[in-house]
Amino acid sequence: MGYDTTAYDDVEPRAPGMYFLRDALDCEKLGVTVVEADDGWEGMEHDHADAGHEEVYVLLHGAATLTVDGEAVELAPGDAVRVDGDATRDLSFAADGSKMVIAGAP
Pick from 77, 76, 79, 87: nearest CA to 51: 87
Report whether CATH 2.60.120.10 matches the domain 12-105: yes
Residue spans of the chain under pLDDT 50: none
Q: Enumerate the domain spans of the chain.
A: 12-105
Q: Could you tell me the pTM of the whole model?
A: 0.93
Pick from 48, 59, 44: nearest CA to 85: 48
Per-residue pLDDT, 53 = 87
Tell me how far apart the alpha carbons of residues 22 and 30 are, in angstroms, rounded to a whole number: 7
- β partners of residue 20: 33
Tell me phi and psi for residue 6, to 5 degrees: -165, 165
